[in-house]
Amino acid sequence: MKTAIMTVGNELVTGRIRDKNAAVIAKGIHAQGWQVIAVVSVGDNKQDMAWALNGLLSRADAVIVTGGLGPTADDVTTAAVAEILGLPLYRDEAVLRRIMDLFAARGLKWTENNAKQAYFPAGARIIPNPVGTADGFALRHGEGLIVVIPGVPSEAARMFAEGVLPLLRETFPGRAKAVASRTFKLFGLPEAAVDEALSGLDPAGRGVEIGFYPEFPENHLVVTARADDAAEASRRLEETCREVETRLRRYIFAYDEDTLEGVVSSLLMERGLTLAVAESCTGGLITDRLTDVPGSSAFLIQGIVAYSNRAKMALLGVPEEVLLAHGAVSDQTAVLMARGVRAAAGTDLGLSVTGIAGPTGGSEEKPVGTVYMALADNERSLCRRYRFRWNRRRNKIISSQAALILLKDYLMGE
Amino acid sequence: MKTAIMTVGNELVTGRIRDKNAAVIAKGIHAQGWQVIAVVSVGDNKQDMAWALNGLLSRADAVIVTGGLGPTADDVTTAAVAEILGLPLYRDEAVLRRIMDLFAARGLKWTENNAKQAYFPAGARIIPNPVGTADGFALRHGEGLIVVIPGVPSEAARMFAEGVLPLLRETFPGRAKAVASRTFKLFGLPEAAVDEALSGLDPAGRGVEIGFYPEFPENHLVVTARADDAAEASRRLEETCREVETRLRRYIFAYDEDTLEGVVSSLLMERGLTLAVAESCTGGLITDRLTDVPGSSAFLIQGIVAYSNRAKMALLGVPEEVLLAHGAVSDQTAVLMARGVRAAAGTDLGLSVTGIAGPTGGSEEKPVGTVYMALADNERSLCRRYRFRWNRRRNKIISSQAALILLKDYLMGE
């Protein structure tokens, strides 16, 4: 089934706020296996609404409209929809009573303009608002359906789930497809290389869809399978996912809602290992990410942001000679930082990062973006060198990512 | 002038992500005194793009398109625009060289499909991408203009400001009014209270517009003045800004592009003071923010993420008795952490945060969201207690904000 979304409000076309409703509604529709062919945002004026609504009605089975149902003069959605469909407005006495009762219950002073929210186009089916005063409504239009709900995100989300989705299923029986989907989160392979790795996979032929979503410094790959029944959808999904898995295994660090910090945290907790982190150029970003995971205090004993050489010596025991001979940004320093923080904290593992985030501080031999990271356990230490080429913030982010990947690889014995 | 925005990407019509670009572009256009008649989002398919683009071209002088310029098979915007306008594609050798050089510079493996980003519709004017590989382009269409830029928000925002806006002004001379604007960045006052503080200001009467943009945990207030000449615009701006300044001074921490960490860093550098930070619940977020500022190594000597009591004792010298008597989340502990990290690092100032980010760990007396922060210099220490009511991540963010505000207030002698 083809659907479309129209969000109404001057604040949307002046950039005053970012539309919250479209994404929530589109997600809910997509989950049904239905399609959203377009999302259109227009201001609170009848001409633009007429243009958008007529255009969408000509291509979609159902159009969901949000916004412009308030009591004030600038809210004209109901009147506009009535005009566009050539329907008169009527006042719904039951709705009017409900609104007046709500005002009384909330101790609000009743003003006549609020009665406006009790008017609907003739033939409208009311969609009750369980939270506020603005009820929504639905109208058949030929074979199609128009649904109008308020723009207040909390009201729109609830009314869409409780009122609109059931109505759509009822109005278009048998149109809902079964949907199964999985997200692969990748690091270390540019988008085009991912594409290359998947060449010849023929998603269409397998009845699946594959979407790429670069989310620096990660690439997310979403496989979505639609079918008439759930069993077939998940069969198609699994078949394609096995293939994706084989082709990209090395680069996959998480699935679906999992995050890299979450995966690393789970591995540490499963294995009952404790961690200490010594950061230079990442400035605390690694421990910030790890402490976003509830319960991380179970394994994260301490973090040291050793931004100065003084701190590297005093807190991590990196000998001055090493700093002088090899520099603060070197594999020797990285390894000694990892060992030092591990020893100081008495943890099973020590993780360290030292590098040049930029924009200045680079040299011929060690240009901006040069980063060393090391991991130390009771016996050995691993060290990796990278050369990143982004701005300061992005160099920090990708360095924290690479360091957590080093830790993950170690924990998974890779 | 009438403009329209078309954002392209399956992720937008499946609700996987919320569109970031439309609001930024609409805001920029609105600031010029131009109108956005509609924002349309469609998936990565030519039919929907053709329908949307033709519809918008029939009603707008200029259409700005974002997204679908990537190298992968699902990116079809350039090809779609060429088809819709009946133009052949050509390969721009200069652009191709630039992309290949960028790959080389970033040490990425070149794959043939990347050449796709060097193809443009005949007659296109290239809009350079200062950050990534996907250049944008512009095409005249009758009296109108079509502009296409990438969907990656960081690239879209920059290319819109540096490439698209100047091009629009040049293409539609005389359509732009003189515009002057200032952003006030506020912390500590809810939206409704800001509204109240500004009541009776009558922006319209002063020929200005005041926009409100909540950006957790900050509130941004944008005053925009439009007039026929620059002098009048800036006169109106200054007049209103003086008024805003008087009414909200206490809550303003930065202007325009400045950030809180940037303001604090400048104050520390001006005064030649050094800083050490001890973080518990913020987990390194404070030093992460400070180290986003180039040159922060000049004042930030070290940070300690003392997530465990062990670390609070060993690294910050907080006596076990205090932890037992008052708890790790207490003003006593916060103050001792600030003094401890200052002493250990030998800095002028010590800043500390300790609290309960949640979701668990709260108690009757100290519920989730209870946070203490302290600042110590050579004589005294200041301590503030907060009770935040957000989720774990947001509690961390707003705690780091409040701690940096404490530091700023101290440095400004407030």
Summarised one tens digit per residue, pLDDT across range B218-228 is 988 889 898 88
- For the stretch A134-152, pLDDT in tens is 999 999 999 999 999 999 8
- For the stretch A221-268, pLDDT in tens is 989 898 888 999 999 999 999 999 999 999 999 999 999 999 999 999
> What's the half-sphere exposure (Cβ side, CA atoms, 13 Å) at B276?
30
Say if residue B253's pLDDT is above 90: yes
Number of Cβ atoms within 10 Å of the Cβ of A68:
28
**A399 burial via Cβ count (<10 Å: 0-12, 13-18, 19+):** buried
Can you give the pLDDT at residue B368?
94
Nearest to A346 by CA among B320, B341, B311: B311
- Contact, B149 vs B209, CB < 8 A? no
Can you give the pLDDT at residue A210?
87
The rounded mean pLDDT for chain A is 93
Can you give the pLDDT at residue B56?
96
Overall size of chain A counted in residues: 414
- CA–CA separation, B347 vs A168, rounded Å? 65
Nearest to A382 by CA among A411, A346, A355, A345: A411
Span B4-24, average pLDDT: 91
Q: Where exactly does CATH 3.40.980.10 map onto chain B?
A: 2-171
Q: Where exactly does CATH 3.30.70.2860 map onto chain A?
A: 178-255
- CA–CA separation, A45 vs A216, rounded Å? 38
DSSP class of B75: -
ipTM over 0.85: no
Strand ranges, E, within A177-268? 178-186, 208-215, 218-227, 252-255
Residue A30 confidence class, pLDDT cut points 50, 70, 90: confident
Instruction: Record the pTM.
Output: 0.82
Displacement of CA B176 from its chain's centroid (Å): 26
For residue A219, which residues of chain B lie inside 8 Å, CB to CB?
Answer: none
Residue contact A311–B11, C-beta within 8 A: no
- CA–CA separation, A332 vs A380, rounded Å? 13
Span B256-277, average pLDDT: 97
Span B213-238, average pLDDT: 89
Nearest to A132 by CA among A103, A94, A91, A165: A103
Across chain B, which distance is largest between two alpha carbons, in Å?
79
Q: Which residue of B has its CA nearest to A286?
A: B284
Can you give the pLDDT at residue A213?
78
The residue written with tokens 């033939």 in the block is A123
Say if residue A107's pLDDT is above 90: no
The CATH architecture assigned to B260-411 reads: Alpha-Beta Complex (3.90)
DSSP class of A303: E
Q: Which of A41, A183, A280, A360 should be substituted to probe chain B, the one whose Cβ sees the most B Cβ atoms within 10 Å?
A: A41
For residue A40, which residues of chain B lie inside 8 Å, CB to CB?
Answer: 38-41
A-contacting residues in B 241-270 (Cβ below 8 Å): none
B-contacting residues in A 146-165 (Cβ below 8 Å): none
In terms of average pLDDT, the best of A128-132, B151-155, B186-190, B370-374 is B370-374
- CA–CA separation, A281 vs B242, rounded Å? 40
- CA–CA separation, A212 vs A200, rounded Å? 16
Nearest to B297 by CA among A283, A150, A165: A283
Residue contact A291–B307, C-beta within 8 A: yes
Say if residue B78's pLDDT is above 90: yes
How would DSSP label each residue in B376-395?
Answer: E-SS-EEEEEEE--S-HHHH
Residue A82 confidence class, pLDDT cut points 50, 70, 90: very high
B246 min Cα distance to partner chain A (Å): 24
Span A46-56, average pLDDT: 96
* A147-176: burial string, b at 16+ Cβ within 10 Å, e else: bbbbbbeebbbbbbeebbbebbeebbeebb
Displacement of CA B183 from its chain's centroid (Å): 13
- For the stretch A260-290, pLDDT in tens is 999 999 999 999 999 999 999 999 999 999 9
Nearest to B52 by CA among B39, B66, B70: B39
Residue contact A27–B48, C-beta within 8 A: no
Say if residue A103's pLDDT is above 90: no
Span A343-370, average pLDDT: 95
- For the stretch A365-375, pLDDT in tens is 999 999 999 99
A349 SS3 class: strand
**Alpha helices (H) in A147-202, listed in sequence order:** 153-159, 165-171, 191-197
- For the stretch B125-135, pLDDT in tens is 999 999 889 99
Cα-based distances in Å from B192 to A250, B228, B362: 50, 33, 29
Domain B2-171 homologous superfamily, CATH: MoaB/Mog-like domain (3.40.980.10)
How would DSSP label each residue in B154-222?
Answer: HHHHHHIIIIIHHHHHHHSTT-PPEEEEEEEEE-SS-HHHHHHHTTT--HHHHTEEEEEEEETTEEEEE
The dihedral through the CA atoms of A186, B396, B380, B336 has a sign that is negative
- CA–CA separation, A375 vs A331, rounded Å? 11
CATH of B178-255 given 3.20.20.70, 3.30.70.2860, 3.40.50.880, 3.90.1200.10: 3.30.70.2860
- CA–CA separation, A44 vs A339, rounded Å? 63
Can you give the pLDDT at residue B49?
96
Can you give the pLDDT at residue A27?
87
A90 min Cα distance to partner chain B (Å): 30
- CA–CA separation, B337 vs B278, rounded Å? 6
Can you give the pLDDT at residue B374?
98
Say if residue B33's pLDDT is above 90: no
Residue contact A283–B292, C-beta within 8 A: yes
